[in-house]
A and B are shown apart, each in its own frame.
Chain A
Amino acid sequence: METRIRVLVAKPGLDGHDRGAKVIARALRDAGMEVIYTGLRQTPEMIVNAAMQEDVQVIGLSILSGAHNAIVPRVMELLAEKQMTDVAVVAGGIIPDEDATELKKIGVAAVFQPGASLESIVEFVRSAAQRQAA
């Protein structure tokens, strides 16, 4: 029996723009994945704890506020501390190319910028989760 892929979709920081995060959460659910949506104003600590408790393979971070350079590295740091580096992290929102490059250097698996298709995101999440199972 195939176990379902588990994904945490999170809104870190003060940003309240949740349209993208919700659409993605729903698309991932439609694609057969188990999705936990954290809701708004999560700290990196809250996100990593939720990821641990929910035993997810993938964390999706949605940030449109420009605070990604402060927030995402903190999440990566905490995952390393808790030895959860097998969890894939993807980020999306308003993240310029230069910053996206830096985020990938610290281990973010993918950065989705405005205009990314749901299909491409779902496929990426699926393959990232399956890589872990392997």
Chain B
Amino acid sequence: MKKPGRVFETLSGIPLEPFYGRDARPDPPAPGQFPYTRGIHETMYRGRLWTMRQFSGFATPEETNARYRYLLGQGQTGLSIAFDLPTLMGYDSDDEQSVGEVGKCGVAISSLEDMETLLDGIPLGQVSVSMTINSPASVLWAMYLAVAQKQGVSWDRLNGTLQNDILKEYIAQKEFIYPPRPSMRLVTDTIEFGARHVPRFNPVSISGYHIREAGSTAVQELAFTLRDGIEYVEWAIERGLPVDSFAGRLSFFFNSHNDFFEEIAKFRAARTMWAHVMRDRFGAREERSWKLRFHAQTAGCSLTWQQPYNNVMRTTVQALAAVLGGCQSLHTNSLDEAYALPNEHAVTIALRTQQILAYESGVTAVPDPLGGSSFVEDLTMRMEAEADDYVRRIDGMGGMIHAIEQGFPQQEIANASYRYQKQVESGERLIVGVTAFNTQREEPIPLLQIDENVSSRQIEKVRSLRTRRDSKGVLHALADLRAAAQGSRNTMPPILEAVKAYATVGEICDTLRDTFGSWEERSVV
């Protein structure tokens, strides 16, 4: 019978030996050498630190713009835009579906006008911008590209990332609009457009973060993410794009969770697996196509309502794992994660966490410092083997879309999530401050409030916009988009025209809803 609170396996359930002695296996190749287990660059952080990129957005574009300027002023080195639920789901602020939701989970963006306000004073040729947007990704990207044009920045100078990973929406985050195949077509359109016109921009951020937050194990996070990546590569190749023309711009996004060594092993296994996938499965010839670049975010789901200051320590350990795992970009969560969007004080602490790791801890001086540790190398190989198993199983189902239609990854996640919760309830896994070491009285913490008049202001703005713009131009652009969507033309150019005519997010998405239909999932519990 397991002693309560003491489990000798990783969060994924990989059993851990009492100790790891030296073993006969050779160390993996040096950092910067295939298959990049030890890092994609020879010098890693000696050459360049990871980008400190705090995911951020709330209320109106004006307020979010102020937060971006604040964060950049405090030493953040890249932007990451968080949109509200209506925007994420392709609804305008004044849609009846948006009631109660405007500006609550992110910034409300209904049109190019909002995007112009959001990015006001941000030099897009100098600051890389990541956008966490999926189903309407093309629309928001078009708005960003239009703002860049207005700033006089040519698209070939733009750095940034679009999340735009629709497969993980069906699997975990559930912000899907249209069915899988038309959605994959939209993603492929952006990959093709990006390869041709915005070559320094990552058109997709193939994500495991949300899969993990939904309750998967680290192995599942790794496997499902890479298998999603494989699906995108297949679709782009099917489109006729040579693999080396786009593969170097596929980026990844992983969770950095509590189990310190498992997370580091996961990142190392991810690089190893992807290098082999690209070179051996897809025949890519260029190094850039083989190198897995990733953004990491510390695990939101691990942070607690009780004793919220404990979250600072959790985030620090998780951030350290991401750094020792060789991430290219990092977001650290704020201590008020379980309550609200970050307030200024909390997000500053989160940013300082990264800065202290970068400048005071010394861990940036040597790439992959844990490489060669028998424990870490063993764990890396085990995770790779277990993830490979899943990849083969999904291949056997006919690929990820088929697996999703069969409910496979969703059921794996639901099972893992329930198993974890039972472990917490039984005391096998402890949560400090929650299931143990409680305090009788909790000190309230200051919280960011989203004013209810945010909604009325945004509603008024979008309604006013509809009266001021050239309606004929909008209708014409939407008609052209409809034609493109019904045919096989790349949808990015018509979306750009629509956006520049000040068609709204909702109007563009409705046009696509009409063409592609809406997707309703068959829930698995």
Contacts and interface: CB of A to CB of B under 8 A. Distances in A.
On whether the two chains bind one another, the answer is yes
Interface residues of A, number: 33
Contact of A94 (B174, B213, B339, B425): B339
B86 A14 contact: yes
Contacts of B425: 117-119
A29 B525 CA distance: 10
A19 B417 contact: yes
Interface stretch (B95-103, B148-156, B230-238): B95-103
Nearest to B422: A118
B509 interface: no
Nearest to B421: A23
B311 to A, nearest CB: 11
A39 interface: yes
Contact of A115 (B98, B305, B450): B305
A15 interface: yes
Contacts of B213: 19
Contact of B100 (A13, A22, A35, A37): A13
From A19, A23, A26, A40, residue with most partner B Cβ within 10 Å? A19
Contacts of B387: none
B511 interface: no
Nearest to A25: B525
Contacts of A16: 173-175
A66 interface: yes
A67 interface: yes
B175 to A, nearest CB: 5
Given A65-B85, A66-B104, A39 B306 contact: no
Q: Top 6 closest A-B pairs, CB basis?
A: A70-B100, A16-B174, A66-B104, A67-B100, A114-B305, A14-B85
Given A66-B340, A70-B100, 13 more contacts: A14-B98, A17-B174, A18-B523, A19-B417, A25-B525, A27-B421, A65-B85, A66-B101, A66-B450, A114-B304, A115-B305, A115-B306, A115-B431
21 contacts: A14-B89, A18-B214, A19-B214, A22-B414, A22-B418, A22-B525, A23-B417, A27-B421, A37-B525, A39-B520, A66-B101, A67-B104, A68-B100, A94-B338, A94-B339, A96-B339, A114-B338, A115-B304, A115-B306, A117-B435, A119-B425
